[in-house]
Amino acid sequence: MDKVIEDKELGRLIIHVNVRAKRLIFRARDGEIIVTVPPRTSLKEIEAAIEQLRVKLLASKNEHLHPLIDLDFRIDTEFFRLSLAYGNRDRFLSHSELGKMKIICPFNADFKDEKLQAWLRKVVEEALRRNAKIILPPRLYMLAEQHQFQYESVKINSSRGRWGSCSARKGINLSCFLVLLPRHLVDYVLLHELCHTREMNHGERFWTLLDSLTDGKALALREELKKYKTEI
């Protein structure tokens, strides 16, 4: 069971024991810091690592804080656009269509309210999920046909940990946040998962195959993808 450390400066740190972990790993997520530790790691060891990395952890946490969704907030990508505007209503109203969403806000909206921010994120993520279900499966099918891959199924989820995954049964899972990426990176992720239907690990044969499908740019595209996050 995960343990929680409350730190006045860093906030909540979730301590997660992983039998495969060989060292302490820190990562910021949703305003918290997840600390993955090997079994039998003492609390004293964890606290010492926190103190040693405090400056870096604080910077990482601040970097991952959600931007405020207000009238200045915009999403303007190839597959999805979002804008907010005031309207003559006493409640929120959203207009959504393929690739586009507009949220009409009442003049008295308090965008600093945490509950409102949580609701707005939920509404936007649901729109992303609907769009992803329409956009991504046909694109995956087209690439599979073009390069002669076979897969059993495709599902869209709200994963924040990874852009996609492929099971041993060739079931492909894709994060709805993919629609926030440029088209060439969307295709890179889809091809990445399709390659796993033949090569289930990230060995040399996997990268050689993916390289052959991306004009030799597989590693460069992987590095470019790191600039983006699976979140709004």
Q: Largest alpha-carbon pair distance within the chain? A: 59
Dist CA 169 CA 23 (whole Å): 31
Q: Kindly report the CATH number that applies to the domain delimited by 131-225.
A: 3.30.2010.10
In the chain, domain spans: 3-63, 75-125, 131-225
Given a contact cutoff of 8 angstroms between Cβ atoms, the answer to whether 139 and 186 are in contact is yes
Phi, psi of 129 (to 5 degrees): -65, -45
Count of Cβ atoms closer than 10 Å to residue 29 Cβ? 13
In DSSP terms, 175 is beta-bridged to 157
pLDDT tens-digit map of 47-93: 999 999 988 888 777 666 678 899 999 999 999 999 999 998 889 99
Walk along the chain (232 residues) and give the pLDDT tens digit of each residue: 688 888 888 888 899 999 888 899 998 776 678 899 999 999 999 999 999 998 888 877 766 667 889 999 999 999 999 999 999 888 999 988 899 999 999 999 999 887 898 899 999 999 999 999 999 999 999 999 999 999 999 999 988 778 999 999 999 999 999 999 999 999 999 999 999 999 999 999 999 999 999 999 999 999 999 889 888 8
Looking from the CA of 42 toward its CB, the CA atoms found within 13 Å total 3
C-alpha angle 173-179-180 in degrees, rounded to nearest 5: 125
Dist CA 199 CA 194 (whole Å): 9
